[in-house]
Amino acid sequence: MGADYAAYAKARADLALPQSSLLSFAPKTYRDGRTYGLNQAVPELQSLFGQGKIAFLANVGTLTQPTTFAQYKAGLGLPQSLFSHSDQVSQWQSSISDRPSETGWGGRMADLVNAMNSNNQISMSITLNGINRFEVGNSVTQYALYYGGVTKLNSGGVSPGSGVRNAAIRKIMAAPQSNLLAAALGGITNDAIGDADFLDGVLKGAPALKTAFPAGIFAQRLQTIARVISVASTLGLKRQIFFVQLGGWDLHGGQVDGHGPLLAEISKALSAFYASTVELGVENQVTTFTASDFGRTYVPNAGGTDHGWGNHQLIMGGAVKGGDIYGRMPSLTVGGPDDTSRGRWIPSTSVDEYNATLATWFGVSASNLATALPNIGRFAKPNLGFL
């Protein structure tokens, strides 16, 4: 690390991590003259990287086209509302950065491959964190679970009166209605209760997972996903998309103390989730990937950082060509060719290229790729090679 670490420590100031605390990792093929290390809070991810089960994608972000520093300064073809949390979340999840989109790239992908599934009683798109843009399709809708499984009221076993309440709701919703909206609400609600009862019954009949998951809601959500994957054949689903999120990263102060526990939570939970896919014998059929709104500034401010642009993501699974870095790391030179200001790196890889690589692995054909990702034709690498 040597001179590179010294430059890093100077730029990061009070946020610089001690060199002795870093967990070193060596990419198989990626070479740029630098050595790399991970936060000490993620030994599980370091281990999975060493086993070739995790790959890192460097400096990826929202783009409307390949962008240079000169184009950025001129304001040419930039994503809308570049440093706004809500707008950038929407653009990451829609994979459309130059105009609003009602659908997400996961939803459009689901529309394209849903015919591979033989039973649509339970949607192939399941969210553990409520409604999200990513899974909004034109025909496939999201199905929501809470972190412990099916919504408790519908499972009929929460309290002595829950079954009575469930039956009462069914009776009310099935009652004849003269108002079309009320009738539609009744039908949809009854269908939802029936679907929940069906899924709850299937999950209760599945063998318990032997893999131990750590405490915390994020890990419990991943455990619920593993349970649903375990009954995929019973549900008639050959393709599934899951959404889960972990917040708390927007730290303009107290970042060193705040990020460590979050990273540890992710590391332990992802390690357990991968182990559960191995237990189920589906590690090659399940790919887990991260996404965000944007990175953070390289130059700190009073113990924290501001909104950035390009950031780094990880991809995990048996099908991943892991143990390597894909894309191109920025120069990490403040005021250098990749820096818009204060270490807000211009992405060298677009969200579209990242998503297209995942979509191709998932089964979206080359001829349908532009349907899922309308802007992919503007970029040179629709397949980044990490799968």
The predicted pLDDT at position 154 comes to 41
In the numeric block, the tokens 């997972």 are attached to: 209
Proportion of the chain above pLDDT 70, given as a percent: 96
Residue 301 DSSP label: B
| CA dihedral sign of residues 135, 141, 146, 150 | negative
Please report whether residue 387 resides in a domain: no
Going by pLDDT thresholds of 50, 70 and 90, the confidence category of residue 156 is: very low
Please report whether residue 386 resides in a domain: no
Average pLDDT, the chain: 93
pTM score of the predicted model: 0.93
Residue 18 DSSP label: P
Going by pLDDT thresholds of 50, 70 and 90, the confidence category of residue 159 is: low
pLDDT in tens, 64-92: 999 999 999 999 999 999 999 999 999 99
Please report whether residue 383 resides in a domain: no
8 A C-beta contact, residue 359 and residue 105: yes
The predicted pLDDT at position 182 comes to 79
- The length of the chain, given as a count of residues: 387
Instruction: Determine the structural domain holding residue 117 and report its residue range.
Output: 2-378
For residue 345, what are the β-bridge partners? 339
The predicted pLDDT at position 161 comes to 55
Please report whether residue 96 resides in a domain: yes
> Which residue blocks in the chain are alpha helix, DSSP H?
2-12, 43-50, 69-74, 85-94, 105-113, 152-155, 162-174, 180-204, 217-230, 232-235, 255-280, 351-362, 369-372
Number of structural domains (the chain) is: 1
Please report whether residue 158 resides in a domain: yes
The predicted pLDDT at position 1 comes to 56
8 A C-beta contact, residue 92 and residue 289: no
The predicted pLDDT at position 155 comes to 44
* pLDDT: which is higher, 368 or 191: 368
Please report whether residue 284 resides in a domain: yes
- Residue 54, classed as helix, strand or coil, is strand
pLDDT in tens, 102-154: 999 999 999 999 999 998 889 999 999 999 999 999 999 999 998 887 764 54
Please report whether residue 384 resides in a domain: no
The predicted pLDDT at position 376 comes to 98
